[in-house]
Amino acid sequence: MALLTWDQSYSVKVAELDGHHQKLFYLLNCLHDAMKQGKGNSVVRGIVEELVRYTHTHFQREEALMEQAKFPGLEIHRIEHQKLMSSAAQFKNALDSNQGVNTAAVLEFLRGWLAKHIYGMDKSYSSHLNAKGIY
């Protein structure tokens, strides 16, 4: 069973960005499934690397759409995005230096961030982007 299941309540009403968010949910659930099978440590590096790569791509696109639509909350979003990238980079650096990471901490960080960021931040741009013709 998935730790966090994407459904329409998470939709930001922009299909491309919803697809990105679904991919992030998938990564979270891959880590969760591996941990349930006792394999969290063996997959955490790959998931953290993919998270760093994919969130960078997602954030660039999300910010570009907000800029295109002249969304007034863009700078606040950029700051939040930088915080996430910094945290993800810390996890990656710990793995790269063979310090290891607590997979439960990674999982909890991702779960909390995804739910809070989408509900608390991303949904704020939905109507603005839609009003500018971005669906």
pLDDT attached to residue 103 = 83
For 40-53, what is each residue's pLDDT tens digit? 778 888 887 888 89
Q: pLDDT tens digit string along 90-108?
A: 888 887 888 877 888 888 8
Per mean pLDDT, which range of 14-23, 31-40, 69-78 is the poorest? Answer: 31-40
Across residues 66-93, what is the average pLDDT? 92
- 44 vs 54, more confident: 54
Which pLDDT value is given to residue 6? Answer: 93
Please tell me the class of the 13-131 domain: mainly alpha
Q: In angstroms, how far is the first alpha carbon of the chain from the final one?
A: 30
Domain parsing of the chain, residue ranges:
13-131
- Of 79, 60, 70, 82, nearest to 125 (Cα)? 70
Q: How far is CA 117 from the centre of its chain?
A: 8
Residues in contact with 30: Cβ distance below 8 Å, sequence separation at least 6, in sequence order: 43, 47
